[in-house]
Amino acid sequence: MQSFLLLLPDFALIALGGLLRRHAGLGEAFWQGVEKLVYFVLFPALLFNALARTRIDPGSFAPLFAVGLLTMLSGLLLGLLGRPLMGLGAMAFASRVQCAYRFNTYIGIAVAGKLGGAAGVAAMGALCGAMVPFANMAAVGMLAHHGQASLGRELVRNPLIIATLAGVVFSLSGASLPEPALPFLQRLADAAVTLGLLAVGAALRVGRSEGGRLGVVYLCAVKLVALPMLAWGLATLFGLTGTAFATAVLFAALPSASSAYILAMRMGGDGPGVAWLISATTVAAALTLTVWLALLTGRGA
């Protein structure tokens, strides 16, 4: 119950976003504008702020980075193995398989802050920021292969990758952000979490999804059950403890990223199918994240 109460405010924001989308008279253009604002401005500011203000020690961060990368790679491989269950064409499958390994950083930052405070936010921000380029390279690579887009062009202009690299470089340089920039970036970061969760709720889709139901269940189970179990084992194997251990497991347990839908739409993929899968993993995560958070709390992480 305590774990559920910790997550309740964040999932309440998601539910509020869904209600506003359907009953507040705010048109599609409004929510498209919110998504663009979060994706191109607020979310990059959150990533840069988290990384630039964290002194990244490559040696101590390496085990957490390795667990995150291996977990995400496993999600990709398990997702690819599920293609026979989907009954979809190449482009539609390339769009949806993102949901087996991509992660919703908005929810991750919110949950990490509840469990680990500032240290949890910094660890989750650093891990998500480090994983964003790999997640985007995998997703853009598959979509570009089956579509008409250029992988290199998509990567160099991706705002999440740009913000991550900028934050890492700034952190490694040893420089400090000027005092006026700190509250400015923090306000943008706070707005990113709030508006990001509202946008997640507004993007929820109900109804039936094309493709095999077994494939949908399979991808959801990979993302919300198999990957956290794998991350738990890998974190133990790599000797992670405390905040790092909890961050690795929570990272793996996050629902699929809403940016997967934006990317699929931008590259001519199956946007509606991706939106439905994101909705399914987000709704199911209200239960599964509660369970994983309870297990971590009981472990003392």
% of the chain residues with pLDDT over 90 = 22
Matching residue, tokens 């570009």 = 144
Contact present, 41 and 162 (Cβ < 8 Å): no
Burial degree of 118 (CB within 10 A; 0-12, 13-18, 19+): exposed
Q: What pTM did the predictor assign?
A: 0.80
Cα angle for residues 239, 74, 107 (degrees, 5° grid): 80
Render pLDDT for 147-193 as a digit per residue (tens, 0 to 9).
Answer: 555 556 666 777 877 887 888 788 888 888 888 888 898 899 888 87
SS3 177: coil
Whether 143 and 149 have beta carbons less than 8 Å apart is answered as yes
Three-state secondary-structure class, residue 249: helix
Would the pLDDT of 64 be above 90?
yes
Specify the pLDDT at position 222. Answer: 96
Residue 254 DSSP symbol: P
Tokens representing residue 11 in the block: 């999932």
Beta-carbon contacts of 85 under 8 Å, excluding residues fewer than 6 positions away, are 212, 214, 215, 218
Count Cα atoms within 13 angstroms, Cβ side, for 196: 27
Tell me what pLDDT residue 102 has. 92
pLDDT for the residue numbered 228: 97
For residue 100, what is the DSSP state?
G
Nearest residue to 278 via CA among 115, 102, 73, 127: 102
Among 253, 222, 186, 211, which residue's Cα sits nearest to residue 75?
Answer: 222
**pLDDT at 212 exceeding the cut of 70:** no
The confidence score (pLDDT) of residue 219 equals 92
Distance, CA of 186 to chain centre? 20
Spatial separation of the C-alpha atoms in residues 115 and 81, rounded to whole Å: 34
Average pLDDT over residues 12-40: 86
Residues 101-112: pLDDT tens digits? 999 887 888 788
Predicted local confidence at residue 47, as pLDDT: 77
Q: Tell me the CATH number for domain 2-299.
A: 1.20.1530.20
Query: Which of the listed ranges 17-31, 224-238, 269-283 does the model predict with the highest average pLDDT?
Result: 224-238
More confident residue, 273 or 244: 244
| SS3 category, 103 | coil
pLDDT tens digits for range 71-104: 999 999 999 998 888 777 878 888 889 999 999 8
For the chain, the average pLDDT equals 82
User: Distance between CA 241 and CA 248 in Å, rounded?
Assistant: 10
* Domain boundary assignment for the chain: 2-299
